[in-house]
């Protein structure tokens, strides 16, 4: 592992030329079978495997191996991996309670060894897990075991994930990462609040699900307005000038899928603006990683369109921004 970012900067800049171009996206949109998509991805050197999912997993592993070889401090990527930890904890808890196979659901890379998660849940030794996942996992297990309320159990772990991300970015003292995740978590809270409001959720659920400490997001005010109704909540969100919040909420009310696309596009653009032209620090490597995440999303959307035999025009409309 190198001891400075100077080496990673040059290496990443050279490797960026292998990221997907808009021409690559158009080429994939023209394909009419999963086999053709697999062939295209292999020809691009995107990954190994006989299926699209195998190739995506291969690319994910290759990307992390590459970054480990050029980045002096891989902890800057932990904040991106906490959602995988939350997912894996959920999988173990639900699998053990339903006596079903959960190991096939594990996601990697992650920061918590899945064997440790299994031991923690099986032995009721949640202290084996780092906070805030430790206490959240215990609450999630007890909730599912006694009430079968999966949404509430998920809320504990989703909130723990966002809390871990917020705390980690503050520790790293990286302005880009802090801005990026403040924005992402803001939108996740907005989405959660709107969904909860539309389903007339009780106050307790908001407190279980919404995270504190996000710039521009007044948790108590959001809860207060949400309990009054959707109109009151959307009216309040419309007063928030940061994050293009009014526009985002309008997208959600029109189509949750459009909300997801809108917010993900903003994050990719943020990464492009902050990471593509930087000359020092971890930003170049962070941008490369975010670029790979955006590519993975594009491949998933195109593969789903092919499987559904959807019109390529409709599939193109679902696609997000790429880093190129």
Tokens at 80, concatenated: 């991106």
Q: What are the Cα distances from residue 170, in Å, to 137, 167, 175, 182?
A: 23, 5, 9, 10
pLDDT confidence band for 99 (50 / 70 / 90): very high
Q: What span, in angstroms and rounded, lies between the C-alpha atoms of 159 and 321?
A: 27
pLDDT of residue 309: 96
Counting Cβ atoms within 10 Å, is residue 239 exposed (0-12), middle (13-18) or buried (19+)?
A: exposed
Query: Is 67's pLDDT higher than 60?
Result: yes
DSSP collapsed to 3 states, 4-35: CHHHHHHHHHHHHHHCCCHHHHHHHHCCCCHH
- Residue 312's closest CA among 304, 320, 322, 321? 304
**Distant-in-sequence, close-in-space partners of 302: CB < 8 Å, separation ≥ 6:** 25, 28, 29, 31, 37, 315, 319
Residues 234-238, mean pLDDT to the nearest whole number = 97
Query: Is 2's pLDDT higher than 80?
Result: no
Q: What span, in angstroms and rounded, lies between the C-alpha atoms of 19 and 231?
A: 43
- Can you list the domains of the chain with their CATH numbers? 1-73+282-324 (1.10.132.50)
pLDDT confidence band for 78 (50 / 70 / 90): very high
Tokens at 208, concatenated: 């279980």
* 148 Rama class: left (phi>0) / alpha (psi -120 to 50) / beta: left
- Rounded to the nearest 10°, the torsion over CA 2, 7, 8, 12 is -150
Pair 179, 270: CB distance under 8 Å: yes
Residues 205-228, mean pLDDT to the nearest whole number = 96
Residues 256-263, mean pLDDT to the nearest whole number = 96
pLDDT of residue 288: 97
User: Using one digit for the tens of pLDDT, what is the confidence trace for 164-187?
Assistant: 999 999 999 999 999 999 999 999
Query: Is 43's pLDDT higher than 90?
Result: yes
pLDDT of residue 278: 81
Query: Is 9's pLDDT higher than 90?
Result: no
Q: What span, in angstroms and rounded, lies between the C-alpha atoms of 176 and 199?
A: 35
- The pLDDT > 90 percentage for the chain reads 94
Residues 50-64, mean pLDDT to the nearest whole number = 97
Average pLDDT, the chain: 96
Query: Is 238's pLDDT higher than 90?
Result: yes
pLDDT of residue 49: 96
Query: Is 5's pLDDT higher than 90?
Result: no
User: Using one digit for the tens of pLDDT, what is the confidence trace for 292-321?
Assistant: 999 999 999 999 999 999 999 999 999 999
Query: Is 279's pLDDT higher than 80?
Result: no
Q: Three-state DSSP class for 296?
A: helix
DSSP state of 210: P
User: Using one digit for the tens of pLDDT, what is the confidence trace for 241-257?
Assistant: 999 999 999 999 999 99
**Distant-in-sequence, close-in-space partners of 274: CB < 8 Å, separation ≥ 6:** 176, 179, 180, 283, 287
Query: Is 286's pLDDT higher than 80?
Result: yes
DSSP states of 46-105: ----SSHHHHHHHHHHHHHHHHHHH-S-GGGGHHHHHHHHHHHHHHHHHHHHHT---GGG
User: Using one digit for the tens of pLDDT, what is the confidence trace for 117-144?
Assistant: 999 999 999 999 999 999 999 999 999 9
Pair 292, 59: CB distance under 8 Å: yes
Its pTM surpasses 0.75: yes
pLDDT confidence band for 115 (50 / 70 / 90): very high
pLDDT of residue 1: 57
Pair 322, 20: CB distance under 8 Å: yes
């Amino acid at each position: 592992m190198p001891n400075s970012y100077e080496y990673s900067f040059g290496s990443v800049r050279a490797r960026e030329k292998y990221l997907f171009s808009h021409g690559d996206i158009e080429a994939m949109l023209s394909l009419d079978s999963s086999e053709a998509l697999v062939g295209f991805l292999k020809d691009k050197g995107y990954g190994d495997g006989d299926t699209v999912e195998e190739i995506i997993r291969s690319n994910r592993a290759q990307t992390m191996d590459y970054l480990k070889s050029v980045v002096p401090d891989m902890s800057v990527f932990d904040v991106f991996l906490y959602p995988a930890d939350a997912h894996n904890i959920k999988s173990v808890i639900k699998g053990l309670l339903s006596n079903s196979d959960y190991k096939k659901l594990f996601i990697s890379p992650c920061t918590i060894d899945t064997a440790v998660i299994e031991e923690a849940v099986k032995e009721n030794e949640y202290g084996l897990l780092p906070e805030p996942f430790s206490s959240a996992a215990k609450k999630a297990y007890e909730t599912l075991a006694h009430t079968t309320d999966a949404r509430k159990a998920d809320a504990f772990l989703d909130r723990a994930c966002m809390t871990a991300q917020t705390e980690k970015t503050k520790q790293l003292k990286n302005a880009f990462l802090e801005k990026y995740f403040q924005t992402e978590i803001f939108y996740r809270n907005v989405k959660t609040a709107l969904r909860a409001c539309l389903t007339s959720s009780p106050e307790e659920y908001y407190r279980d699900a919404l995270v504190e400490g996000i710039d521009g997001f007044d948790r108590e005010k959001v809860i207060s307005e949400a309990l009054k109704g959707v109109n009151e909540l959307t009216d309040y969100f419309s007063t928030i000038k940061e994050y293009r919040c009014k526009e985002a909420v309008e997208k959600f009310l029109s189509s949750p899928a459009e909300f997801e696309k809108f917010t993900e596009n903003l994050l990719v653009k943020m990464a492009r603006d902050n990471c593509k032209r930087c000359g020092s620090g971890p930003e170049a490597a962070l941008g490369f990683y975010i670029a790979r995440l955006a590519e993975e999303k594009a491949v998933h959307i195109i593969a789903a369109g092919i499987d559904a035999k959807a019109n390529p025009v409709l599939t193109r409309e679902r696609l997000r921004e790429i880093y190129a």
